Structure 1
C-alpha cells in the first residue's frame, strides 16, 4: 500500500501559514498563534497525529527552523527518533543535525513520488508551505490537517497555489470548533 502524505499546519482564516510562532518570515504579524487564547482541546489534533505519524517531511527552510529546536524539545520528543525526509536541492549531509533520528535528503518532487510508492505509514509535512504547494500541484498530497485561526493577516505565505489548475475535490473527514475560535478541518483529497 502506498504511503499517505499529510500536510498539517496552522492557518489564518485568509490562508496564511507562515510565521505562526514568530517573525521568521519577516511580516509584521508573525507570532499570530500565540495571540489566540490557549484552549487545550483546540490542539488535540496534534496529539491525534502522533499515533499516525511514521515519518516527517520538511522543505529546506522548515528543516533548518525545526532542527534548531525540536531535537531537544520535550514537547516534540515523540518525533525525535522518527525518520525524517528533507526535500532540498542544496542541503548536504554535513548540514544534517545529529541525534534526531534518520534523515534522508530527497532532491526532487519525483523522489517524493517514489517514496510514496513504498510500503509504510503516513508521512506528515510540518510547515514547509512552498514544498506542500509543489507537492499538491503534482497531486501528491493525500490529506490536509488544518487548524484555522480566527485572524486575518493580509500578508505571508499561502499553502495553496494561485495557478490555474485542474479542480481537486476534497472530502471532509473531521471537523470541530473551539471556544477560542479555532476550527479543525481535516480533508482527504479525492482521487
Structure 2
C-alpha cells in the first residue's frame, strides 16, 4: 500500500497559502522573500522527489502547477515523469495539460483510498489545502513532511482542518533545525489499534 504524504511549507501558525508568491495573497512569497536561504532546509524536497511514486493534487493546485512545473526540467525532472492524480468533481479531461505525463482525475476520496491500495511508493500531496483537509478528516493521511518557517502570517489557508473530530496522534519521525530558523518536522500518523 502506498504511503500518503502531505508535504508543505507552513508558517508557525499553520498558514500554507502562497509560499512561493502566488498572486492575490497579502503575504505572498513568504518562504523565499522573508527568510534567508539555507539549502540544507530543502534537502527534504530532493528526497521526496527521489522516493515518490505519484503526485496527488487538488484541482486548484493542479491548475497552478500544470502550466509551470513541466518547464522546470532541472528542479522537477522526476516529478514531471511521475503519474499525477487530480481529485476534482469539476475538472474535465479537456482541461488537463498534455506535456506533464500521465494524469488521471479521481472523483472521490474512495478513489483515493483505492489508489493507496494499488500504489507501492509514496504518494505526495503538494499544496492542495482543501484536499489535504478532506484526506486528513477521512483518515487517509499517513505522514506529514513539514518545513515550518519562523513566521506568524495570520490570515491564509491553513494546513490543518478545523473539523470537530477525534484527535489524531502523531509520532515525530525526523526533526532538524536550520540556520535560518526553518525546522523540518516529519510526523507519522499513529493509527488506533483494532
Q: Shorter chain as normaliser: what TM range?
A: over 0.9
* 1:1-191 superposed matches below 5 A: 2-24=1-23, 26-35=24-33, 36-73=35-72, 74-191=74-191
Deviation at 1:100, TM superposition (A): 1.1
Which stretches in structure 1 are left out of the alignment for 5+ residues? Answer: none
CA contact (8 A) 1:27 1:155 kept: no
4+ runs deviating over 3 angstroms: none
Which stretches in structure 2 are left out of the alignment for 5+ residues? Answer: none
Deviation at 1:116, TM superposition (A): 1.0
Count of residues in correspondence between the two structures? 189
Q: Which deviates the most, 9-18 or 109-118? A: 109-118
Deviation at 1:72, TM superposition (A): 0.7
Q: Any idea what SS the aligned residue of 2:180 has?
A: coil
Once the two structures are superposed, residues 131-180 of structure 1 have per-residue CA deviations (whole angstroms, 9 ceiling, x without a partner) of: 01100000000000000001110010001111211111000010000000
CA contact (8 A) 2:137 2:163 kept: no
CA contact (8 A) 1:70 1:76 kept: yes
Decide whether aligned partners of structure 1 residues 110 and 124 sit closer, same or farther in structure 2, where only a CA change above 3 A counts.
same
Cα distance in 2 for residues equivalent to 1:91 and 1:155: 28
Deviation at 1:51, TM superposition (A): 2.3
Cα distance in 1 for residues equivalent to 2:159 and 2:110: 20
Query: Structure 2 length normalisation: TM-score?
Result: 0.95
Cα distance in 1 for residues equivalent to 2:133 and 2:82: 24
CA contact (8 A) 2:143 2:187 kept: yes
Query: Structure 1 length normalisation: TM-score?
Result: 0.96
Deviation at 1:27, TM superposition (A): 2.6
